Structure 1
């Protein structure tokens, strides 16, 4: 009975922690909805302020989609922190430090990613694809961007960036328990697995699956290249390492 009471107590604590995370997510949704136009203005390329809409409810659902993505993202971070705080009393000190360091590094990585790299990628991709719309000589073509389409492409880019760190960590963990020959031999199976994961995550269209599956394959190939270069680096270190000579301690005494 004592174990049953303890298990119920722990389940209640976990339930309350997850409820705190859910309440924070809902509260953040209403806060972001109050500043929805400012958030859209932040993710727009510099100098762009003209969009068109083709539906009566398009703007409303666009705002809802944007606020939901932001609030759910921060809600997942809060839930992970709450789960860590729930499991911390049962972990060893070194395990708790390792998990805490991973969480801090993940938070710093995504903070740098979305404050520095994400705006640069948006600017670069916008300028790259905008040239195809402006430099069209045969007919007169007027480019009028649609807000919903633009935010959908930004969402695809966000999914790629979100999956970057988990993909790198998963590949590094697999690298410890496997050999490079297996990675090269079963490369085709890895490609199929990457696109299967992309089809499970993204909507049912080929472009979204390519946006998600191709970066995973790129990380896979880069992992093989870095693995081979690191092996060569270790071999060079072993070649140039000085040979240790054996000294007889009895000769020194003589």
Structure 2
């Protein structure tokens, strides 16, 4: 097979796997539209703030089509997350033939663990962080104010927080990959620990609402997961050294 034919065959395979990923997303999206429905999905997302609001208070929609579009967008994002493992599997199947055996052994656990950790970060944010943060904000608000959160602003806030916490839980994976590739050493990671702690609180101050509680909820996991990453990086580093020898 000539180089050009080989290149074309790779493009065809890439197209086929992209189509499969899109079909998987579409199937999940249509399924969620039928059951449990976008309205139910949004109600589940809104549960933390609804629990913190005064009794009888509801969220508002300031746009004409907002009550329709926001749940639909949310459903699409949920469908993307649920179909992500299949999408990553397609990506893995495409790149795996070009990897060495030891790279395959490393790549598959990283893909799996990064997906799981991202979902754990989202779950941690939704079930633990939101309840505490919204309750704190509501208790801090003056009695003369009646909270009436807009659903579009709420969804934007929630998705930003989900992304922040999801990426936070990827810290161990990032550390392990950097060590495995030889970009940074274990000793250097330990040496810059203090800078990482400062950076964690700076990032938390930028990403989260301006209250101490939510900032701590983001910064502390970053610091802990950084240490977890160093621990696993030591194990991976030993394996890599054995392979090189």
Q: What TM-score comes out, normalization by structure 1 length?
A: 0.64
1:71 aligns with one of 67, 75, 79: 79
Alignment of 1:34-73 (within 5 A): 34=34, 35-45=37-47, 48=51, 50-73=58-81
Between 1 and 2, higher relative CO (CA 8 Å, sep ≥ 6) is seen in 2
| Greater shift in the superposed pair: 31-40 or 45-54 | 45-54
Distance 1:17 1:59 in 2: 35
Counterpart of 1:143 in 2: which secondary structure? coil
Q: Distance in 2 between matches of 1:113 and 1:181?
A: 24
1:126 paired with 2:134, answer yes
Alignment pair present for 1:82 and 2:90: yes
The separation in 1 between residues aligned to 2:69 and 2:112, in whole angstroms, is 34
* Structure number with larger C-alpha Rg: 1
Structure 2: gaps spanning 5 or more residues: 52-56, 210-214, 235-245
Q: CA deviation at 1:166?
A: 3.3
Q: CA–CA distance in 1 between the matches of 2:8 and 2:91?
A: 16
1:158-173 to 2 correspondences below 5 Å: 158-173=162-177
Tell me by how many angstroms 1:28 deviates.
2.8
Contact kept, 8 Å, 2:114 with 2:173, in 1: the verdict is: no
| CA deviation vs aligned residue, 1:34-80 (integer Å, no higher than 9, x gap) | 41011112222366482222221222231233123223334544332
Residue pair 2:61, 2:151 contacting (<8 A) in 1 also = yes
Match of 1:148 among 149, 152, 166: 152
Aligned to 1:201: none
How far has the Cα of 1:18 moved from its partner? 1.0
Query: Among residues 190, 195, 207, which one is paired with 1:210 in the alignment?
Result: 207
Post-superposition CA distance 1:119-164 (Å, at most 9, x none): 222222221212123xx25xx3222332222222211211112212
The aligned residue for residue 10 of structure 1 is 10
Counterpart position of 2:101: 93
Query: RMSD in angstroms over aligned alpha carbons?
Result: 3.9
Matched positions, count: 210
Structure-2 separation of matches of 1:159 and 1:20: 25
TM-score (norm 2): 0.66
CA 1:165–1:223: 2 relative to 1, 3 Å: closer
State the partner residue of 2:242.
none
Q: Name the SS of the counterpart of 1:44 in structure 2.
A: helix
Residues 75 and 14 of structure 1, relative CA distance in 2, 3 Å threshold? same
